[in-house]
Structure 1
Amino acid sequence: MVKTIFRVCRWIAFWVLVVSVIASPLYISIPSAIALDYNKEILLNSDFSGRDLTDSSFNHANLRNSNFSHANLEGVSLFAANLESANLEGANLTNATLDSARLSNANLKDAVLEGAFAANAKFDKAIIDGADFTDVLLRRDEQDKLCKVAKGTNPTTGRETRETLMCF
């Protein structure tokens, strides 16, 4: 009787182990990127090209002349960041926070900024050919400035830059 109970318990333990090993990958969510904190860092001329920086934070960071081309910056916070002359060509800035960021002379060619918060951001002389500004919150004067140079169609979303900026 004791041997039978022991065998049944061992059999149950074995199958619980097998099922948990098989099922565990279904319940574990491994993030595609680890959010990083670069707040207040001086990162002049840094190369972040092609990186997945989802949900990272660059608040008040000095990123002048840095390369973010084709980087995934979805949900990234760039509050008051200095992005002067930064290369953001083809970057995904969906739902990014760009409030008070300085993007003077930045290259935003073919970037997707859909849903980004860019109130008080400065885009003086920024290259925005093919950029997608769908649902981006901008100050009216910055929007007018961008509309004067807006052209092209975003290759990722298929939207025209002028239409996404609601240029009339």
Structure 2
Amino acid sequence: MNSKLNDGLCPSVADRILASIPKLCRTYNGLGCQKYQRILASILSLLLWGVVGITTIVGFSLPASALEYNKEILIGADFSGRDLTDSSFTKANLRQSNFSNSNLQGVSFFAANLESANMEGVNLTNATLDSARLIKTNLTNAVLEGAFAANTKFDGAIIDGADFTDVLLRPDEVKKLCKVAKGTNPTTGRDTRDTLYCP
């Protein structure tokens, strides 16, 4: 009977409970001690497996929680490969940070400093980039579809293969971006120059 419980996650707890059963049996002689032990062992085993099952299901099905990094100094921080959907980095200092291959859908980078940041292959769909500094930022193969980027500075940004479909940009920034725009986005299949309506 102990061997069945020892297969569970908490053998020490199960062993303590089973060790206390003989005391209960001496106190309550008429309960049929062996039958009581088997029932209790089965209940404990089912309970442990139920907890493990629920934890596993919940752990894998919950979406990432939106995080807030507003006004934080995160120079050189590594956020690569993360799901940061709907998180907020408003007015954060993210100079030289790494967001490569991250999901940044709906993220707010309002007035954030992303100078020299690595944003290669990121998904910035519907993100807020208004007043952000994307100077010398690597946006290679990034998807910026529907992003709000009025007053955003892209001086020296690498935009090879970036998708700017439906991005709100100032005309002077579009002109600057068209001078360096090239490539096709591997995710959307759209040509960078076409998404910027370059002549």
User: TM-score range, shorter-chain basis?
Assistant: 0.7 to 0.9
- Look up the equivalent residue of 1:142 and give its one-letter code: E
Query: What's the % identity of the aligned pairs?
Result: 79
- Of Structure 1 and Structure 2, the greater helix share is in 2
CA RMSD of aligned residues (A): 1.0
In structure 1, what is the equivalent of residue 104 of structure 2?
A: 73
In structure 2, what is the equivalent of residue 160 of structure 1?
A: 191
- TM-score norm. by structure 2 comes to 0.69
Q: In 1, distance between residues paired with 2:65 and 2:140? A: 26
- Cα displacement (A) at 1:30: 3.1
Among candidates 172, 192, 195, match of residue 141 of structure 1: 172
CA offset digits 1:81-140 (Å, max 9, x no partner): 000000000000000000000000000000000000000000000000000000000000
In structure 2, what is the equivalent of residue 13 of structure 1?
A: none
In structure 2, what is the equivalent of residue 55 of structure 1?
A: 86
In structure 1, what is the equivalent of residue 62 of structure 2?
A: 30
- Cα displacement (A) at 1:167: 0.6
- Cα displacement (A) at 1:44: 0.2
Task: Return structure 1 stretches of 4+ with deviation > 4 angstroms.
Answer: none
Larger RCO (alpha carbons 8 Å, 6+ apart): 1
In structure 2, what is the equivalent of residue 83 of structure 1?
A: 114
Q: In 2, distance between residues paired with 1:149 and 1:116? A: 20
- Look up the equivalent residue of 1:126 and give its one-letter code: A
What number of residue pairs does the alignment pair up?
140
- TM-score norm. by structure 1 comes to 0.82
Q: In 1, distance between residues paired with 2:129 and 2:105? A: 12
Q: In 2, distance between residues paired with 1:34 and 1:127? A: 30
- Cα displacement (A) at 1:36: 0.1
In structure 2, what is the equivalent of residue 44 of structure 1?
A: 75
Q: In 1, distance between residues paired with 2:174 and 2:70? A: 27
Structure 2: runs of 5 or more not aligned: 1-56
Q: Which entry has the higher C-alpha Rg, 1 or 2?
A: 2
